[in-house]
Amino acid sequence: MKRRDAYGYLAAWCAPGALLDALRRLRTAGYRRIDAYTPYPLDELDVLLPARADHVRGWALIGGLLGGLGMLALEYYSAAIDYPIRVGGRPYASWPAFLPPALEMMFLFAALGAVLAMLVGNRLPRLHHPVFDAACFGRASQDLFVLVVRGRDPHYDAERLAALLAPLQPAHAQELAR
């Protein structure tokens, strides 16, 4: 039964092998929105939990283009249209003089776009996360291997998950409220 107010289903084990077995079971059952929390890196997690799409590079490119082209447009408007002054016979729009500020703004806006995309992609700042309500989650950084199936998964059903993971004997299992 899918509850609308559930964040997901949490299960924890004391051994990394049980977590990996559970992850394999969940993937073959069709679950895709899964998070794993481990006290140390597990190489198999890279294969079993593929990385999500990374939009940071695209937003850095967009920010850089907007910053660079915006600065070039501002310099062209101010030097050639709004207040044209001919200095030493040079043209009004002297592009070699426009490049250093445009490059600086391009780098600044690219960095700003990358940082904002990283914050949005990581869903930060988030002052409270539903997994913090689980009593066992504090041990995820010490000696516990935790798996969370999020409620937004199309196959999410807490009772089905409990039945699927019960043969692996999790040390702790519970449904997380939002």
Q: How confident is the model at residue 4 (pLDDT cuts 50, 70, 90)?
A: low
Start-end of H helices in 77-157: 95-121
Whether the upstream peptide bond of residue 91 has omega within 30° of 0, thus cis, is no
- The pLDDT of 54-61, averaged and rounded, is 96
Whether the upstream peptide bond of residue 125 has omega within 30° of 0, thus cis, is yes
Residues 6-53+129-177, CATH architecture: 2-Layer Sandwich (3.30)
Q: Pick the residue with more confidence: 4 or 77?
A: 77
Q: What is the pLDDT at residue 175?
A: 94
Q: Pick the residue with more confidence: 114 or 92?
A: 114
* pLDDT tens digits, one per residue of 123-135: 898 888 899 989 9
- The pLDDT of 106-117, averaged and rounded, is 98
Q: What is the pLDDT at residue 52?
A: 81
Is residue 3 over pLDDT 80? no
**Pairing between β-strand 6-13 and β-strand 34-37 as defined by DSSP bridges:** unpaired
Is residue 86 over pLDDT 90? no
- The pLDDT of 142-165, averaged and rounded, is 93
Position 103, amino acid: L
Position 25, amino acid: R
Distance CA 109, CA 145 (A): 40
Q: What is the pLDDT at residue 115?
A: 98
* pLDDT tens digits, one per residue of 24-56: 999 999 999 999 999 999 999 989 998 888 899
Q: How confident is the model at residue 88 (pLDDT cuts 50, 70, 90)?
A: confident
Helix, strand, coil percent content, the chain, rounded in steps of 5 = 50, 15, 35
Residue 26 CB neighbours (<10 A): 23
> Mean pLDDT score of the chain, rounded to an integer?
92
Distance CA 75, CA 104 (A): 13
Q: What is the pLDDT at residue 29?
A: 94
- For the entire predicted model, the pTM comes to 0.74
Is residue 2 over pLDDT 60? no
Radius of gyration of the chain (CA): 26
Domain ranges of the chain: 6-53+129-177, 56-121
